Chains A and B, each alone.
Chain A
Amino acid sequence: MTTATQLSRTGEQSATRATLSRRRSSATRAIPATTMLWVLAILMAFPLLWFLLSSFKGGGELFSYPLSFLPRKWTVDGYVRAWARVDFLRYFSNTLVVATITTALTVFFCATAGYALAKYRARWLSVLSLFVLSMTMLPGEVILNPTFSVVLHLHLYNNLFGVILPSILTPTGVFMFRQFFVSVPDELLDAARIDGSSELSTFFRIMVPLARPIMLTLAIISFQWRWNDYIFPLIILNDPQKFTLQIALRSLIGAQNIDWAILLAASVISMVPLMVLYLVFQRYITSSDIGTGLRD
């Protein structure tokens, strides 16, 4: 009896000691990995942070040595001047119109096509799938003049829809949905058919609700792409009243002498809506498994 108790007590003690030492060693083991992680995080955050802090320095402090990390005197003067110089409300609303409409149409058309490519079999569908795939190898951004001519033919030059329509179709979006619907069991579709549901109503009533997470992910990604788009708005919009944010920012850089106080503040203002959107929805983008294979 006694021996057994002693034995078991020794066992417990050694177990506790083992846990303790394991805990201590896991803490020491965490040091190199944690250091590497945070050195990287600081490196990635630094350019943004330096930019943000600089935007609160006065025009004089921006160009006087020695530089200091935090503004010596905080000022929003750059922001006030940027807001007065750049018609932000107009550019925000133009960009919002382009990004929202394009995103809605992108999600819709990519979902329908992705579903058809996943659930129907026909030779022409596999050809279509290859055609859409070829868009990744032959990017439209390099054939600028012909795209411009097409937009001109469609009477969409200098029109926000001239920017919207060419950017709706993205191979990434189509293949995201195709991949998702391939994973939805065919039995579900068969059951709906037996119940007499038509193909389209099966899609809209059963499949669309299932695909909601993918829709949200593509929506956020597409919104970011379109908010930050540069090349199509550049060639298609001519009237400054119709410019999107990025084109308006570019005109501040194009000036002979850059007014950095205005440029810093204007750039920060242009990023605010996306940052807010990201902080609200970040788990839909950074949850890694849906992130696979996304790139435009």
Chain B
Amino acid sequence: MDRPAATLIRPRAGAPVRVKPRATPRYTGPALVLTGGVIALYALFFLWPGVLGLLYSFTSYHGYGPLHFIGLENYTSLATDPTFYAALGRTFIYTVFSVPLGYVLSLTMAVALTNATAKGKSAARVIFFLPWLVSPIVTGVIWRWLFGENFGFVNFIIGQLGGHPAPWATNANLSLLVVIFASAWAGAAFNMLLFISALRNVPVSLYEAAQLDGANAWQRFARITIPAIRPTSLLVILLLTMGQMKEFALIQALNNGGPGTQNQLIVQYIYTTGFAKSQVGYASAASMVLLVILMAIALVQIAISRRSES
């Protein structure tokens, strides 16, 4: 696993394990010149907003005038804010359902593309990749159109089959389901690439031996493939989870957090609070809480993958 992504699971790989004798301070100058741009960008657009956000979260800042510090008041209000909990809870539900679907879809696509006997793989690969090009906004429009309540294709088919048209836009759970489908569709291609290279690295001899022992295709998949691609699986789940927790553009275009505010996810809550209502301090506190949650999720998953490796 000497891939860029692997560093995400094992940040230790980035640190020098042993200092080579050639390591000399002679090259500090060139190294500084080469990394200067990234250091400046990191400081300006990551560190500064981060520190500012932490600072704002202890104030009642509304976007102008001096900062007025109010201690932990924003955090204590958040702890009892039902809208915040609703958004956070909805985000968790969305993540819990969309991550497995995205995982299964991208793995199935990768398995289908790496199958030795399947025909038309290069054409299928181009098709599988098309949704990746579609922006989250247009993805939202496409799925909103497909699942339209009155003249959508899906309800038309349900009607033809003798069923009752489903309230895809007016029922909060069904509406979230459409968002889950759309995000799996849009995000599958990239994770598929990760799975394809993992699948190619599984030794063919394992499959041949299993076949000789009479294992069927499903047994070979469950007993050989799944354990062999475990590190990649963990990475894909981590990336999917982080991505779903900050979903914003797709849902804005698909149902705008509706019906009403029932499908408002956490980033939209932060956006509405911070910009539409100008409660900058309060929104920043919500951002900080979200960052802590994201970091906790990432650290737990990294710990799991470390344990499974050792």
- B interface, size bucket: 35 or more
A203 to B137, CA, bound (A): 40
Say yes or no for B25: interface residue by CB 8 A criterion.
yes
Interface segment among A3-11, A12-20, A29-37: the answer is: A29-37
Question: Per-residue 0/1 for A233-263: is the Cβ within 8 Å of any B Cβ (1 yes, 0 no)?
Answer: 0010000000000100110010000001001
Which residue of chain A lies nearest to B5 when distances are taken between CB atoms in the complex? A293
Q: Are B249 and A33 in contact (CB under 8 A)?
A: no
A293 to B8, CA, bound (A): 9
Q: How many cross-chain pairs have Cβ atoms below 8 Å apart between A and B?
A: 326
Q: Are A291 and B14 in contact (CB under 8 A)?
A: no
Q: Are A292 and B242 in contact (CB under 8 A)?
A: no
Knowing A116-B35, A146-B52, the reply to whether A253 touches B124 (Cβ < 8 A) is no
Q: Are A133 and B49 in contact (CB under 8 A)?
A: no
A182 to B197, CA, bound (A): 19
Point out residues on A near B: beta carbons under 8 Å. Answer: 26, 29-30, 33-34, 36-38, 40-41, 44-45, 47-48, 50-51, 54, 62-67, 108-110, 112-113, 115-117, 120-122, 125-126, 128-133, 135-150, 154, 165-166, 168-169, 172, 174-176, 178-179, 182-183, 186, 198-200, 203, 224, 227-228, 230-231, 235, 246, 249-250, 253, 260, 263-264, 267, 270-271, 274-275, 278, 282, 285-286, 288-289, 291-295
**Inter-chain contacts of B20 with A (CB < 8 A):** 121
Report the 6 A-B pairs with minimum CB-CB distance, sorted nearest first.
A293-B5, A291-B193, A228-B135, A199-B30, A175-B4, A146-B49
Q: Are A37 and B37 in contact (CB under 8 A)?
A: no
Which residue of chain A lies nearest to B132 when distances are taken between CB atoms in the complex? A224
Closest CB of chain B to A123's CB: distance in Å? 8
A133 to B19, CA, bound (A): 21
Closest CB of chain B to A194's CB: distance in Å? 13
A109 to B33, CA, bound (A): 11
Q: Are B242 and A139 in contact (CB under 8 A)?
A: yes
Closest CB of chain B to A257's CB: distance in Å? 13
Q: Are B290 and A250 in contact (CB under 8 A)?
A: no
Question: Per-residue 0/1 for B131-144: is the Cβ within 8 Å of any A Cβ (1 yes, 0 no)?
Answer: 11111111011110
